[in-house]
């Protein structure tokens, strides 16, 4: 065996020597006319080729022996990491020479008969790389097919690009290096530009935070064993990727994490190729998106030639799919208990924070985050505070947590700023007491579920799901917003038009994204007019629509069983909601239609103190004359205010009565004063 090639020049010289040897062999066999000056071909002649050749090759023996490519060179590292045969290494070397060495490209052009356009075919590669190794043409072709087979790793992972597969015979097909492999072999080892928007390459160093020792040992063992899949389950920002980073650090390997959304089959192949080039452990985020459609078929193809273990960050729904592809190891990463979350917040917010201990406990209770989310949010909160020149406060934490999930939520929901106050809400005393109880369930759930041990008794479904029912305008949505404001949570209203889809499975996927985002506890998620997604299941399925509607309801039932976040649902038609869904709601509050005294309060409180108001306005009379809920009263008061502004006077009884009459007429009511719905 020859000594290791010293540098890239020697490496390219090896490829040039193989090409020159093929030219001399074709001269000797009469397969290539030795036109001395190229007069008949109008291209290179034999004399020009002799000048291009670096030196005559004395025999074929030295060039067919295996080379040892040093690991200091990219090709050497590839040979080691992939276990390449010597013929595969020479194949890549010749292809690289044709990409980077003009002299080698000209020699190959001559070898191919001075074709007008440079085209390195499988026929030429057979002559350059494989004929010197095996004198019989059939055996050389068999060796070439072994390296270039469509199901082989070099083509499956797109190290090589073969052109004309469907339009040319096998020997006439063109072959070249994939551009990413060319750039990597010449020393450009940054992550593939095609993946940079979707992937992150973590170097093998311990990240900030902590990891469960038992789960870490399981993941490390699965990566060491190879040939497996790892499913890392858990809610968003719980620390699933963090666990894989710790495992990679233990093994001294980089970790390539690729997002599943927008991945596509070609980029999926690029991910496998990049992982092998970087000698990195490979993981896919958003497992459900990464494994759908054509991606699943391409993943199966890649796993057939990729010997390493691959991790998928997702949920249990993808477990059956993974188990069909490879033996699968499942690891669940859970949200730490409340007391542990308090400690993590205190530790990672640092000594400079100005958050009292009571507020810190409330933060740990409100935000159902794992180690990864707490570390990231703490870092972002410290940066916000430093930019503002102030100590880290609770408001910085709230903004930082919002940033973690804004991208997911904005696709299906809109954040709503709540401007109303509690005094604007007019409800009976028992309803007000129920609303206060809801606030207590959220504010003190850390103590009750964690410190007092009720989480162990309940087992699952530790979140809070609330159903508000009642006629339109009775204050359901306002109450949800006021509760969010009282707790310091952002209110996100789900846009059901963006959730529901005619495509099979898309509605469930969108609902899962909404529940996952709310589950981290950083928002109060409001499904307004939720009867459209919580409808009763049909026992008499007469069409595919009935079956798909049942599937959506079944999905929600299963998801509510495991839900750990905060979600509110409102409906005007409680009878339309599936009874099984109603039973799974932790709280059901029915907002009654306001009585005359409550309507008088609504009229009075709807007018701001800054607005000019005539003293003669009789709110009790308005309440008895018009049987309206708060939503309609709001519309009438606003209409009257604009009319008064037009007249240049204070808001008076005439303005309010005329506005009420207009509201009834526009709603199509014949009787002025009756109940509007």
The CATH code of the domain that includes 323 is 3.40.50.300
At 363, list the tokens.
């933060």
State the Cα–Cα distance between residues 40 and 125, nearest whole angstrom: 25
Residue 548: per-residue pLDDT: 58
Residue that finishes a domain, picked among 567, 591, 615: 591
404 and 437 assigned to the same domain: no
Cα–Cα–Cα angle for 136, 139, 141, rounded to 5 degrees: 105
304 and 355 assigned to the same domain: no
379 and 438 assigned to the same domain: no
End-to-end CA distance of the chain: 91
The answer to whether position 127 is within a domain reads: yes
- For residue 58, what are the contacts with CB-CB under 8 A and spacing of at least 6? none
The answer to whether position 2 is within a domain reads: no
At 533, list the tokens.
């997604």
Domain count for the chain, please give it.
5
State the Cα–Cα distance between residues 359 and 522, nearest whole angstrom: 15
The answer to whether position 675 is within a domain reads: no
41 and 141 assigned to the same domain: yes
Residue that finishes a domain, picked among 591, 607, 638: 591
* 3-state SS class at 125: helix
Average pLDDT along the chain, 677 residues, taken 10 residues at a time: 48 83 85 66 65 54 58 74 84 89 85 74 89 81 85 89 85 90 85 88 88 92 94 86 94 93 89 92 86 88 92 86 91 87 89 83 83 90 90 88 78 82 89 92 81 74 84 90 87 78 68 73 80 65 57 74 83 83 87 92 91 93 92 92 94 94 88 81
Strands 413-416 and 328-332: what pairing?
Answer: unpaired
State the Cα–Cα distance between residues 248 and 280, nearest whole angstrom: 8
State the Cα–Cα distance between residues 329 and 320, nearest whole angstrom: 12
Asked whether 477 and 570 are in contact (CB, 8 A), the reply is: yes
Residue 535: per-residue pLDDT: 66
State the Cα–Cα distance between residues 529 and 565, nearest whole angstrom: 20
**In 112-174, where does DSSP find H-type helix?**
122-125, 137-148, 153-156
The neighbouring-strand residues paired with 577 are 535
213 and 174 assigned to the same domain: no
541 and 653 assigned to the same domain: no
Give the residue numbers spanning the domain of 255.
199-332
Residue that finishes a domain, picked among 130, 156, 185: 185
The answer to whether position 220 is within a domain reads: yes
Nearest to 602 by CA among 426, 421, 423: 426
Furthest-apart CA pair in the chain: how many Å?
117
117 and 14 assigned to the same domain: yes
Residue 543: per-residue pLDDT: 52
Task: Determine the number of helices (DSSP H) and then strands (DSSP E) in the chain.
Answer: 32, 14
> What's the CATH number where 626 sits?
1.10.8.60
State the Cα–Cα distance between residues 487 and 363, nearest whole angstrom: 10
Other C-beta atoms closer than 10 Å to the C-beta of 315 total 18
Residue 197: per-residue pLDDT: 86
Residue 521: per-residue pLDDT: 57
pTM summary value:
0.76
441 and 355 assigned to the same domain: no
The answer to whether position 109 is within a domain reads: yes
């Amino acid at each position: 065996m020859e000594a290791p090639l010293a540098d890239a020049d020697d490496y390219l010289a090896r490829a040039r020597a193989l090409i020159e040897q093929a030219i001399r062999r074709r001269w000797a066999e009469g397969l290539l006319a030795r036109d001395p000056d190229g007069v008949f071909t109008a291209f290179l002649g034999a004399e020009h080729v002799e000048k291009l050749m670096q030196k005559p090759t004395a025999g074929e023996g030295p060039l067919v022996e295996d080379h040892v490519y040093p690991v200091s060179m990219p090709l050497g590292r590839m040979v080691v990491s992939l276990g390449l045969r010597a013929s595969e290494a020479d194949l890549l070397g010749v292809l690289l020479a044709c990409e980077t060495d003009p002299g080698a490209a000209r020699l190959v052009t001559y070898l191919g008969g001075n074709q007008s356009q440079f085209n390195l075919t499988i026929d030429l590669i057979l002559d350059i790389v494989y004929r010197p190794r095996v004198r019989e043409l059939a055996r050389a072709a068999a060796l070439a097919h072994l390296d270039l087979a469509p199901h082989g790793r070099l083509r499956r992972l797109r190290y090589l690009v073969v052109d004309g597969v469907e339009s040319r015979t096998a020997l006439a097909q063109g072959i070249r290096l994939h551009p990413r492999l060319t750039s990597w072999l010449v020393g450009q080892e940054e992550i593939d530009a095609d993946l940079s928007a979707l992937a992150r390459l973590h170097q093998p160093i311990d990240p900030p935070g902590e990891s469960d020792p038992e789960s870490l040992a399981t993941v490390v063992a699965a990566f060491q064993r190879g040939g497996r899949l790892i499913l890392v389950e858990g809610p968003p920002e719980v620390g699933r990727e963090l666990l894989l980073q710790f495992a990679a650090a233990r093994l001294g390997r980089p970790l390539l994490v690729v997002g599943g959304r927008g991945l596509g089959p070609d980029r999926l192949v690029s991910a496998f190729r990049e992982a092998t080039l970087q000698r990195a452990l490979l993981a896919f985020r958003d497992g459900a998106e990464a494994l759908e459609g054509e991606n699943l078929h391409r993943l199966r193809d890649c796993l057939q030639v990729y010997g390493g273990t691959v991790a998928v960050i997702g949920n249990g729904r993808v477990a059956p799919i993974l188990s069909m592809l490879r033996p699968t190891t499942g690891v669940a990463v859970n949200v730490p208990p409340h007391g542990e979350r308090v400690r993590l917040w205190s530790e990672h917010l640092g000594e400079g924070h100005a958050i009292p201990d009571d507020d810190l406990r409330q933060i740990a209770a409100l935000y159902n985050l794992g180690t990864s989310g707490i570390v990231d949010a703490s870092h972002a909160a410290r940066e916000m505070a430093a930019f503002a020149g102030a100590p880290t406060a609770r408001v910085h934490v709230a903004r930082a947590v919002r940033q973690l999930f804004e991208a997911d939520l904005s696709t299906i929901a809109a954040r709503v700023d709540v401007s109303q106050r509690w005094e604007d809400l007019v409800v009976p005393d028992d309803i007000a007491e129920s609303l206060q109880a809801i606030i207590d369930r959220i504010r003190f759930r850390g103590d009750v579920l964690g410190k007092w041990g009720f989480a162990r008794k309940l087992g699952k479904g530790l979140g809070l799901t609330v159903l508000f029912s009642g006629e339109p305008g009775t204050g359901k949505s306002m109450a949800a917003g006021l509760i969010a404001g009282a707790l310091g949570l952002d209110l996100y209203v789900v846009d059901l038009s963006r959730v529901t889809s005619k495509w099979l499975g898309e509605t469930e996927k969108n609902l899962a994204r909404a529940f996952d985002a709310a589950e981290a506890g950083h928002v109060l998620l409001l499904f307004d007019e939720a009867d459209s997604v919580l409808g009763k299941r049909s026992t008499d399925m007469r069409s595919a629509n009935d079956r798909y509607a049942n599937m959506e309801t079944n999905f929600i039932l299963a998801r509510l069983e495991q839900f750990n976040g905060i979600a509110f649902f409102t409906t005007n038609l409680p009878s339309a909601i599936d009874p099984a869904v109603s039973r799974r709601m932790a709280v059901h509050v029915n907002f009654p239609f306001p009585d005359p005294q409550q309507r008088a309060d609504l009229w009075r409180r709807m007018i701001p103190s800054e607005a000019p108001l005539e003293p003669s306005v009789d709110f009790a009379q308005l309440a008895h004359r018009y049987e309206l809920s708060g939503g309609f009263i709001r519309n009438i008061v606003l209409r009257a205010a604009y009319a008064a502004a037009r007249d240049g006077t204070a808001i008076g009884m005439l303005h309010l009565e005329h506005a009420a009459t207009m509201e009834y007429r526009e709603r199509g009511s014949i009787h002025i004063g009756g109940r509007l719905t």
